[in-house]
Amino acid sequence: MALAALWGALCSCLPSGARPLPPREEPGALRYHVTYVREPQPALEVGLLRVGERAPRDFLFTQPGGVERVRVFGRDGSEREVPVSAEGGVLVPPDTRSLRYRYPLNASPRGRHAGFFTGMGEGDAWHVAGRAWLLRPRTATPALSAELVVEGVDALLPWTPDASGVYRLRGDDLVNSGFHGFGGRRCMLRLPGGEVEVALLGRMSRMDDAALCAWLEQSAREVLTVRRSFPYPRVTVRLVAVPGREDPVPFGMVLWSTPPSISLLVGQDAEPASFTRDWVAVHELLHLAHPPILPRVAWLSEGLATYYTELARARSGRQTPERAWTELLAGFARARRAVGSRTMEDVVTRGDSYLGTYWTGALVALHLDVALRRVTGNTRSLDDVLERLAASGQVATFDDFGAAVDAIAGRPLFQEVVSRHLSQPALAELEPLLEALGVESVPDGARLGVARDSPLRDALVAPR
Ligand SMILES: [Zn+2]
């Protein structure tokens, strides 16, 4: 009876003009009804209705561990319990009408930041990744449609609900479901080309909401020192306060939902002034400056974000050019200490040093930027490559990136630069590049002098 009432409630909240679900012969559809409950502990109660004979019946928790069993309701009124397999799988009988389960949001996490995915928060403000709580079809085609509603709390999911509060999703959205916020406060950042909706989850001891949103807005505006307009019409960011931390942003990540979703941990006891020096927020936002490169090539995407993190903060005036170069030199030095004389190819193939991956990638980005400026008389740059790539589609390949570099250069350039870096000891190209740019490493940072390419160097961080 409770279940019938639940579905009745779901259907009554749909407007009469809502898009009709596909007929039974179509790929089928799924309807999620999610209710936030406080008792006996904060949890998501999830009802999942299969619509149509061909609706999926093989389901998966992408990140298993939060739910042990699912209640399954047959079309004949039967009811049974199905265990979730160790790998997160749930296979239901063909006559299944609906499923129901509870996901606890405060399960004790194991390891540092483990709760970032599985659920962290306090009171009625929670952060969780869709892959932990959302039971999705094991294989989901774009043709599969799904509706999702959330009751009992104000949610910030990657998607925009329709006027009646229903999220209308495709199969892909269920697979790459991004980060989710439940409860908390909100602010909206409006930028040329797009807006950023922010959920503030938890309490800060020294920062008020207005200051947090102003800091995040500055970071988002720094993306506009690289791209002409904000790269997505709407993205969401969740800020999750971490008790006992004084560092402003201990951790952050972007997930490639459609559109992408970002979440950042913020130190509950961090001083307002410390946010001025934060680089994590702008780094994550800069990942949006080009379409995701698939299959993922970590040294390229992390290299670009790492490189532009320093440039963008100098272009906006948040740090001086000398400071930007000091940060770049320090990063390259840390990477060199981490990987020694190994080749870049060995470092990025084994992927055992994040410093090595990020900073050898950042050096390739710097080298490409300088090479593009050299061959175009400083009229085109790596910024133009990102602009071109974004204009060509919602995702890109590694080869697309290379082709965009060559197109902006007006000649083959990408392969030559990249293969030189990959085949040599990591960062072997650093010193000749710095010398040409007039950047000298001195004990307290970087000294900028006059050299052949110093006008290019100054253009890299020129205000915009
Ligand atoms: Zn990154």
Q: pLDDT tens digits for 398-423?
A: 999 999 999 999 999 999 999 999 99
What pLDDT was estimated at residue 53? 86
| Domain annotation for the chain: domains and CATH numbers | 25-105+114-170 (2.60.40.3650), 185-289 (1.10.390.10), 298-460 (1.10.390)
Opening angle at CA 163, ends 162 and 165, nearest 5: 65
284 alpha carbon – ligand 1 mean position (Å): 6
What pLDDT was estimated at residue 112? 54
Give Cα 131 distance to the centre of its chain.
13
CB 291 within 8 A of CB 391: no
366 alpha carbon – ligand 1 mean position (Å): 16
112 alpha carbon – ligand 1 mean position (Å): 18
What pLDDT was estimated at residue 10? 39
Give me the residue label for tokens 């004790």: 108
CB 357 within 8 A of CB 364: no
The pairing of beta strand 96-104 with beta strand 43-51: antiparallel
What pLDDT was estimated at residue 369? 98
Rounded distance between C-alpha atoms, residue 147 and residue 149, angstroms: 7
Question: Is the per-residue pLDDT at 109 higher than 90?
Answer: no
83 alpha carbon – ligand 1 mean position (Å): 37
- DSSP E strands, 178-277: 179-182, 185-191, 194-201, 234-242, 251-255, 261-267
Task: For the sheet with 89-91, list strands across it.
Answer: 89-91, 58-60, 136-137
Question: Is the per-residue pLDDT at 17 higher than 80?
Answer: no
Residue 141 — pLDDT band, cuts 50, 70, 90?
confident
φ, ψ for residue 317, nearest 5 deg: 90, 0
17 alpha carbon – ligand 1 mean position (Å): 43
Which of 323, 313, 289, 321 lies closest to 456, judged by CA? Answer: 321
69 alpha carbon – ligand 1 mean position (Å): 35
123 alpha carbon – ligand 1 mean position (Å): 30
Q: Radius of gyration (Cα) for the chain, nearest Å?
A: 24
Query: Which residues are paired to 261 by β-bridges?
Result: 236, 255
70 alpha carbon – ligand 1 mean position (Å): 36
Query: Which is higher by pLDDT, 20 or 211?
Result: 211
pTM of the predicted structure, to 2 decimals: 0.92
pLDDT digits (tens, 9 = 90+) for 142-153: 889 999 999 999
Question: Is the per-residue pLDDT at 8 higher than 50?
Answer: no
Query: Which residues are paired to 185 by β-bridges?
Result: 200
Cβ neighbours of residue 107 closer than 8 Å, sequence gap 6 or more:
66, 118, 119
357 alpha carbon – ligand 1 mean position (Å): 11
What pLDDT was estimated at residue 380? 98
Rounded distance between C-alpha atoms, residue 422 and residue 1, angstroms: 64
Listed residues: CB within 5 A of ion ligand 1: 302, 305
Question: Is the per-residue pLDDT at 21 higher than 50?
Answer: yes
261 alpha carbon – ligand 1 mean position (Å): 13
Q: Phi/psi class of residue 308: alpha, beta or left (left: φ > 0; alpha: ψ in -120 to 50)?
A: alpha
Ordered DSSP codes for 292-315? PBSS--HHHHHHHHHHHHHHHHHH
pLDDT digits (tens, 9 = 90+) for 278-296: 999 999 999 999 999 999 9
